[in-house]
Structure 1
Amino acid sequence: MIEDNNAVYNNLIRDVYKRLLGEDEKMISVKLTFGGLCNEAVRFYSQCFDVKVLVQKSFQDAENDFPQRIEPKFQDFIFSAELEITLEDSKFYVTMGDTPAIVFTGTDRLSGCNDNIAFDIHVKEPGLIRELYQKFTEAGSKNNIPLEQSEQGLRCSLIDPYGICWTMVCENSPQAGREAGLD
């Protein structure tokens, strides 16, 4: 009976995960972040569990995604890694990377940043990013990336007053910059 419940649960999780990754869905995902130690963490978790690295991209590989130049000492830091971890008959998925706050501020010491998790928000409506950005900045959040129109779409990245990093993206649409008031 327990094995049947595990199979049902795993199928449910897989279905939810697939639905969340669909292009038509809004998505908020949680990302574990490390202060330059993500590669080490991936190796450690791989020693502890049966790990399949699904994706691993360094900041250098993602350099075109950012408006500012990535300093050489941060280029090998991990921008994003997605792991599939298997333990007995269960699988779960973890997204992780090195904290963007270190890369963007150029410092290993972050006052007021509890940046061990980060939230990535992907939305369809650019007005929603503008609204969220305004609420976050009015509350005193610090910019990693100010609200801007990039090749990828409308985006921003902030550290909220509680030290949590939030990255928000609206994939390119013809009116994204106009609707966000950036033209």
Structure 2
Amino acid sequence: MFQLTPYLFFAGRCEEALEFYSHCFGGKTTTKQYFRDAPMQIPGAQPDWIMHAEFEAFGMKFMLSDGVVAREMSGNNIALSLVLDDVDQQARIFDMLAEGGHVMMPISDIYSGAKFGKIEDMYGVRWLLYCELVT
């Protein structure tokens, strides 16, 4: 299974962006997590910044964050979040995207019980590969 979801970064203006998109599309925020609620402190992140949010309206869905990640981006405030359901497939795709690219965060366990990795491919496209572990 593949699901491609746009991930937008706002460097401190995510809450404002969520209100704006809600006003524009009449949709709703389905998930909102703040950096203050993370089990560990993230260097450079403000506690009241949104670490992760999901927005839905009219069948469209995208993810948002204030994230420190926004500082990593040079004029490009979007990454593609690929949600998978197979860790072996996640690893294969990650390795292929890494060819000629730059591994920003190797695939590792994250506190939600999933596996997550971040990579910039050889074309400068940023990919977030997420795989929830099914038990």
Letter in 1 for 2:29: V
Q: How does 1:59-138 map to 2 (within 5 A)?
A: 59-61=35-37, 63-64=38-39, 69-71=41-43, 73-85=45-57, 91-98=58-65, 100=67, 102-103=68-69, 109-110=71-72, 112=74, 114=76, 116-138=77-99
Q: Is the 8 A contact 1:38 1:96 kept in 2?
A: no
Cα distance in 2, alignment partners of residues 166 and 121 from structure 1: 7
Q: Is the 8 A contact 1:33 1:99 kept in 2?
A: yes
SS in 2 for 1:42: helix
SS in 2 for 1:129: helix
Question: Where in structure 1 do 4 or more consecutive aligned residues deviate above 4 Å?
Answer: none
Asked which structure has the greater RCO (Cα within 8 Å, sep 6+), the reply is 2
Matched, 1:54 2:30: yes
Cα distance in 2, alignment partners of residues 57 and 45 from structure 1: 17
TM-aligned CA distance change 1:54 to 1:113, over 3 Å: same
Cα distance in 1, alignment partners of residues 75 and 103 from structure 2: 10
Percent identity over the alignment is 27
CA offsets per residue over residues 7-50 of structure 1, 9 Å max, x none? xxxxxxxxxxxxxxxxxx43222223222221121223344443
TM-aligned CA distance change 1:49 to 1:150, over 3 Å: closer
CA offsets per residue over residues 38-90 of structure 1, 9 Å max, x none? 112122334444343332222333x24xxx631374332223323344xxxxx
CA RMSD of aligned residues (A): 2.9
Shift of 1:133: 1.9
Q: Which has the higher helix share?
A: 1
TM-score, reference length from structure 2: 0.73
Q: Which residue of 2 aligns with 1:147?
A: 107
TM-score, reference length from structure 1: 0.57
Structure 2 residues without counterparts, runs of 5 or longer? none
Q: Which has the higher strand share?
A: 2
TM-aligned CA distance change 1:111 to 1:84, over 3 Å: closer
SS in 1 for 2:72: coil
